[in-house]
Amino acid sequence: MAESFGVDPARYDRARPRYPDALVQRIVGGSPGRAVLDVGCGTGIDARQFQAAGCVVLGVDPDARMAEFARGTGVEVELATFEAWEPAGREFDAVVAGQAWHWVNPVAGAAKAARILRPGGRLAVFGHVFAAPPEVQSAFSEVFRRLVPDSPLNSAPSRTPLETYQAMFARAAEGIREAGGFGEPEQWRFDWQQTYTRDEWLDHLPTTGVLTRLPPDQLAEVLHEVGAALDELGGGFTMPYTTLAATAVRSGTA
């Protein structure tokens, strides 16, 4: 699945939500300088937000298609997984990862971040969780049950999406704690919302992990039916988002 997101990097970059400015500012304000390493930078969505905040950003990503797109937007990217990437003596004031840390070994990744961060530097891993309003989710679920019966989207989860992601970021915090080299990890939360038109949601939907691997004809059918459902619901909806982060400061003094 990790390799499926690069199928259409332009759509991914256009349709995926940005990160709360408050998150970016809190990371920048809590770092000793402006040198940022962006792990799993993808198309450069959060990298460009950190650039806009005055940072010098280096991205690392294993997908050549995503990296090429990010370079075209002005982000410097080196092609590698974080585990295999060679820092070559470089140090950073912040190591960040947006929607990407779950592809990294949480202990080995945190240990590597500790080695390349300056004392007082910050590791911050973050991502979005969302759940559509009940009437919207019900309409979507009916389409997925009918057209993609084998999809994980059709299983009855034992936890809400927020509970699932909170557990995931708790594991990330525990990985930081286990790696050593950091102060006690913190967990941050930012609640916000984004309104989607019918066409904006249909643009976003193919960038989600389960649907990136559907055959084109099946994906087209899903989008047609979801579009019809959204027409019945008035042509759009407002999605509540929560952005979660696990973060810690590198121990030691300069």
In a domain, 83, yes or no: yes
Rounded to an integer, what distance in angstroms lies between the CA atom of residue 22 and that of residue 19?
8
Which stretch of DSSP H or E encloses residue 199?
helix 198-204
Mean pLDDT of the chain: 92
In percent, the amount of the chain with pLDDT more than 70 equals 93
Rounded to an integer, what distance in angstroms lies between the CA atom of residue 189 and that of residue 169?
11
> How many domains does the chain fold into?
1
> Considering only 47-51, 81-85, 139-143, 207-211, which range has the smallest mean pLDDT?
207-211
Rounded to an integer, what distance in angstroms lies between the CA atom of residue 188 and that of residue 22?
11
Which stretch of DSSP H or E encloses residue 170?
helix 161-179
Q: Are 92 and 163 in contact (CB under 8 A)?
A: no
In a domain, 254, yes or no: no
In a domain, 91, yes or no: yes
Could you give the maximum distance between any two Cα atoms of the chain, in Å?
A: 60
Rounded to an integer, what distance in angstroms lies between the CA atom of residue 133 and that of residue 137?
6
pTM to 2 decimals? 0.91
Paired tokens of 42: 């993808």
Task: Give how far Cα 239 sits from Cα of 130, 133, 149, 195, 196, Å.
Answer: 7, 7, 24, 6, 7
In a domain, 14, yes or no: yes
Rounded to an integer, what distance in angstroms lies between the CA atom of residue 12 and that of residue 42?
9
Whether the predicted pLDDT of 240 surpasses 90: yes
Residue 179 neighbours by CB distance under 10 Å: 21
Task: Give the pLDDT confidence of 36-57 residue by residue, as tens digits.
Answer: 999 999 999 999 999 999 999 9
Q: Domain of 216?
A: 2-249
Task: Give the pLDDT confidence of 137-196 residue by residue, as tens digits.
Answer: 999 889 989 998 876 665 666 788 899 999 999 999 999 999 999 999 999 999 999 999
In a domain, 163, yes or no: yes
Q: Are 206 and 8 in contact (CB under 8 A)?
A: yes
Query: Which residues make Cβ contacts (< 8 Å) with residue 71, sequence separation at least 6?
Result: 77
Q: From 111, 89, 95, select the one nearest 40 (Cα to Cα).
A: 95
Which stretch of DSSP H or E encloses residue 161?
helix 161-179
For 33, left (φ over 0), alpha (ψ -120 to 50), or beta? Answer: beta
The H-assigned helical ranges of 88-160 are: 106-116, 134-147
CATH of the domain at 223: 3.40.50.150
Q: From 204, 201, 246, 210, select the one nearest 228 (Cα to Cα).
A: 201
In a domain, 49, yes or no: yes
Rg over CA atoms, the chain: 19
Q: Are 237 and 195 in contact (CB under 8 A)?
A: yes
In a domain, 133, yes or no: yes
The pLDDT of residue 155: 61
